[in-house]
Chains A and B, each alone.
Chain A
Amino acid sequence: MRILFKTSYLDDIRLFQHSGQVFWYGLLTVGLLLAPFVLGDFYVGELSYVFVLAIAGVGLMLLIGYTGLVSLGHGAFMAIGAYTNTYLITKGVPFLIAFPAAGLAALLAGVLIAVPANRMTGIYLAIATLAFSQIVEQLVIRWESVTRGFQGMPVPAPELFGHALARPWEFYYFCLAVLILVVLAAINLTRSPTGRAMVAIRDSEISAQSLGVNLVQYKTIAFALSAGITGLGGALLGHKMRFISPDAFNILLSIQLLLMVVVGGLGSIHGAILGAIFVGGLPQAIALMRDYLPPTIARTPGLEPGLFGVVMVSVVLFEPLGIYGRWLKIKAFFDYFPIYRRATFKRQRSYLKTERVR
C-alpha cells in the first residue's frame, strides 16, 4: 500500500506526484531515446507513426475529453496541417517556419468552425464537424492549383538548419520531441485555470457560466487549440507518408482519431497516448497474428476495421474509462493492496428530492 504524505500545496501542482513516477517516466524516456539503437528502421518508423497519431490525439483529447465537445471531423485539421506544411515547403519556406504555420492554419480553421459550433452540442455538433470535414476534403480535391487534387503531392523530408531528417531515426527523434512538447503544454494547461474552465464546460455549462466562465470564449479556445495541435500532427503525418493525397485524410482518419481518444480513455492525456499506441499498433498486431490464426479468419478482408469496431463497442460497453481507466483500477488494487474494495470506482447513487410533498 502506498501512502502519500503531502507537506505543501506544491505537492498537488507538481508534474510528478512522487519519486516512483519520476522513475517510471524517466525509464520510459530513456527507453524511447535508446529505441532506434536496438530497433530496425521498420519499427522505428512505426513508432514515429504512433507519435504522430498521439500528437493529433492529444489535440482531439483536449476537445472531446476535456471540453466535452464532439468532433467527427478532426481528420480535416490534419489535412489542413499537412497541405499547408507541404505547400509552404514546396514554395521554398523553411520547414521550421512551415511547420508552425501549418499548426496556425489549422488553429484558424478551428476558430472558424467554433463560430457555428458554439451554438450546438451533442449530435448536432458531431454532424456539423462531419460536414466540415467533407467540405475540407472537397476543397482539397478541387483546389488543384495548391493541392494538385487527386494527383497528390510528394512531401520532402523535413529540414532542420539545412540538414534533412531523411533517415527514419532522425524523423523519430523529431516526432518524439514534438510529442513531448505538446504533452507538456497540454498537461500544463490542464492544471491551470484554462484547463479547469474546459472541464467545467464539459461537466456543467450552466454552473461553469455562473462561476464566470465565458462559454463562447473557452469553447473557441478549445476548438482552436485542439485544431492547431491536430494540425501539427497532420503536418508530421505528411512527412511520415512522404506523399499526401485527398484520400489519406478521409472520414476513416477522423474515426480513427475518435477511436483513439475513446479507447485510450476520455479525460486524460495518458488516454490519448495509449489510444495512439492501440490504433497505431493494432495493424501490426494483426499482421503478426495472421500466421497463427486459422487461414479462414486470417484472410478475411476487413479484419482490421472489423476489430476496431468490436473494440470500440466493447470499450463503450464495458470500460467507459478506456485503457487508462482500466490501468488506474489495476494500479489502485496494488496501491491499496490489502484493503482494496471492489466498489471503489462505483458511482454513488445520489437521490434527488426536488418534488417535496408538504
Chain B
Amino acid sequence: MTLTETRTDAVAPSASAAPRRQADAPALFEADDISIAFGGIKAVDGVTFDVAAGEIFAIVGPNGAGKSTIFNLISRIYEPTGGRLTFQGQDITNVPPHTIARRGIARTFQNIELFEHATVLDNLLIGRHCRAKPNIFAEMLFTPGVRRRELEHREAVEEVIDFLDLANYRDQRISGLPYGVRKVVELARALCARPKLLLLDEPASGLNTEETEEVAFWIDDIKNDLGITVIMIEHDMSLVSAVSNRVLALNNGRTLALGTPSEVQSNPAVIEAYLGGEAP
C-alpha cells in the first residue's frame, strides 16, 4: 500500500519513556518567538516550540488564547509581526500560502471549511491538488495522460476512504452530511494531500464520547501507520493526555507551560488559567 510509504524513519518518543524530544534529532517543525497582533491585541506573543518527526504535539488553552491563530500563522494565512517558522530545515516564514501544502503541511479548521456543494469524493480529490500538475489544455481535451493521473488520484483518495471508513458517504454532498461525518471528511481531505505534518484544530469539538474515542484511535493510526507528525489543538484534556507526547499550554497568546501532559496539567499557572482569573 503506497499510503504507508510516507512513513518516516524517526521513532516516536513514547509519552512515558521520553517526554522531551532528543536534542540530536532534528526538529521537523520549529516556531521561534512568533508573534502577531490584531489592532492592539497581541493574539500570539513570542511563542517558541518545536515538534520532532513522529511526535503528537498538543496545544491547549482557554478560548481566545491564540491557538487557532498559531495554525493560521503556520498556514501563512496571517502575516507574523515577528519570529520565524521553520519546516524541514527550511524557513517558511515568508513563502506564499498555497505552497504550504506542497511542502507537506495539511490542516483542518475549527469551524470545518469543506466544499459544501461538492461530493465527499470531490472534496477529497481537491485534497490531492498539491500533488497534481494541472495542465489546462490537456485537461480540456481530457488526454489519456490526464485520465491516467485522475485514476492515480482516485486510488490515493480511496486509500484514505478505506482508512477512515468513509465509503458509505463517497457520493454524498457535504451539505447533506451530519456534523460528525463532516469532521472526518475534513480530516480525510487533509490526509489526501499526503502531509508530513498534520495540523488538527479541535478534532473532537462537538463530538460525543464515542466519536471522540474514535478520533483518538485515528490520531494514533495516523502517527503509527502513516508516520505523520501531528500538531493538535484540543480542549478535551482526556484526549490530549491519551494521545499526545508533549503539550503546549497558552493563555493570552503567551506560553504558560510546555511539557508532558501530566507536567502541564499539574502546572500551577495552567490550573490558574483554567480556573479563571489572570495568570500572573
Contact = CB atoms under 8 A, between A and B. Distances in A.
A210 B107 contact: yes
A209 B134 contact: no
A354 B177 CA distance: 18
Contacts of B122: 196, 199
Interface residues of A, number: 44
Given A188-B139, A194-B136, A358-B235, A213 B117 contact: no
Given A188-B140, A196-B126, A347-B175, A204 B206 contact: no
B109 A189 contact: no
Contacts of B182: 350
B70 to A, nearest CB: 14
A206 interface: yes
A204 B175 contact: no
A189 B77 CA distance: 28
A1 to B, nearest CB: 16
A267 B117 contact: yes
Nearest to A357: B63
B48 interface: no
Interface residues of B, number: 59
B102 interface: yes
Which one of A13, A193, A203, A351 has the greatest number of beta carbons of chain B within 10 Å?
A193
Contact of B175 (A10, A197, A200, A348): A348
Contacts of B140: 185, 188-189
Contact of A209 (B98, B114, B128, B175): B98
B187 interface: no
A203 B115 contact: yes
Interface string A186-224: 001101111111011011101111111111000001000
B81 interface: no
Nearest to B236: A356
Given A210-B100, A212-B99, A347-B176, A200 B115 contact: yes
Given A210-B77, A356-B63, A191 B176 contact: no
Contacts of B151: 9-10, 13
B156 to A, nearest CB: 11
Contact of B134 (A10, A194, A225): A194
A200 B121 contact: no
Contact of B129 (A191, A193, A204): A193
Contacts of B206: 351-354
Interface in A331-348: 345-348
Interface string B130-169: 1010101001111000110011011100100000000000
Contacts of B176: 345-348
B139 A192 contact: yes
Contacts of B75: 209-210
A197 B126 contact: yes
Contacts of A199: 115, 117-118, 122, 126
22 contacts: A188-B146, A189-B139, A189-B140, A191-B142, A191-B150, A192-B134, A192-B142, A193-B132, A200-B126, A200-B129, A203-B116, A204-B116, A209-B75, A210-B77, A211-B126, A212-B130, A347-B175, A348-B175, A351-B179, A352-B112, A354-B205, A356-B235
Interface of B: 62-63, 75, 77, 96-102, 106-107, 109-118, 121-122, 125-130, 132, 134, 136, 139-142, 146-147, 150-151, 153-155, 158, 175-179, 182, 189, 193, 202, 205-206, 235, 274
